[in-house]
Structure 1
Amino acid sequence: MKRSSYLKEIRGLASVEMTIIVPILMIIMVGIFELTQIIQANNIIISISREGANLISRNTTQTPEQVMNTVASTADPLDLEADGIIYVNLVYGRAEGEAPQLLEQYRWASYGYSANSSTWNGCDTWGSDGECDLPESEPELSDFPLELDEGEAVYVVEVIYRYSPISTYIFDSDITIKELTYL
């Protein structure tokens, strides 16, 4: 008799333990899954930015829009057309002590996420080809992180992506992944 009640008590205790442990394990598993998805998205954004800078800096036949379309097509499984934007900036160095100038800025025409460029976000009018209609005097970039010699030019490719984790069904918060490549 004692053994039978003892076994029932142990089974009851095991079911209580499972009721407590399973939700905790599920939360941990979802967290690990979400973290790996974010890491994968970040790696893809880094690759797109680097490849975009590589292509735009050595390519004279393709327009910046064509380069952005090319690198965006490699974003699978991310959907850049729904949740991403790409900028290509050409920055030119001036005499020592003077801030570099922005010579050209392009925004990807198929963008689905509206975010400002961190290189320069003062463009009011965009052309049909994605080129910014810059003011007559090119903007000076006083907070540009690189020191450029006079006459030196650098392309800055920015890829910005809005990642919506599974937890957005519970908490209303997206994660913005941004990568800049200077080449």
Structure 2
Amino acid sequence: MQQGRSRLRMLILSGMFAAITAVLAQIEIPLPLVPISGQTLAVGLTATILGSRFGMVAMLCYIALGAVGLPVFAEAKSGVHVLLGPTGGYIFGFIIAAYITGYILERTKFNLTMALVANIVGMVITLAIGATQLKFVLGLSWPEAMAGGVYPFIVVGLIKAFLASWIGIKVRNRLIQANLLENKIQKAAV
């Protein structure tokens, strides 16, 4: 019975973080090929707080909501055409980034240093998958894809990785203290 409640609580939190991702996606700075948005900050927060499995579940929910037509992607866009378009690789990258970020934290420690390392790895994954799809969909060369889809996001990505780590660890600890999140997700004690 307790395990079922815990799982339900985590699924509810996953849904909440899918919604948070949708909200943060609407905060953006337009650039020529790919805008800078709050989506990647949300991915880092989600993985840092929920861990690998439920962080990935949250991103799958987010993508499913957008795929069926809810305006949850950047610029209030939605639909499968967004996922298959030039910026869709970044969105697909959120799934793997959330899982790997959470996995690194689960195998090490949920502290600021490891969260920053894990979030930087997640940022690199998102940028790599995003730039790859950008290259092929727009028929760009690798240098063009890197110039338009990676380089402009490195500094902002590092800032977002730090914010996701710092806020994520604080929120995670508060949720554990409030008995809204179980500490057993964490494999190594802080």
What TM-score, normalized by structure 1, do the two folds share?
A: 0.33
Specify which structure has the higher proportion of strand.
1
What TM-score, normalized by structure 2, do the two folds share?
A: 0.32
Specify which structure has the higher proportion of helix.
2
Which of 1 and 2 has greater Rg?
Answer: 1
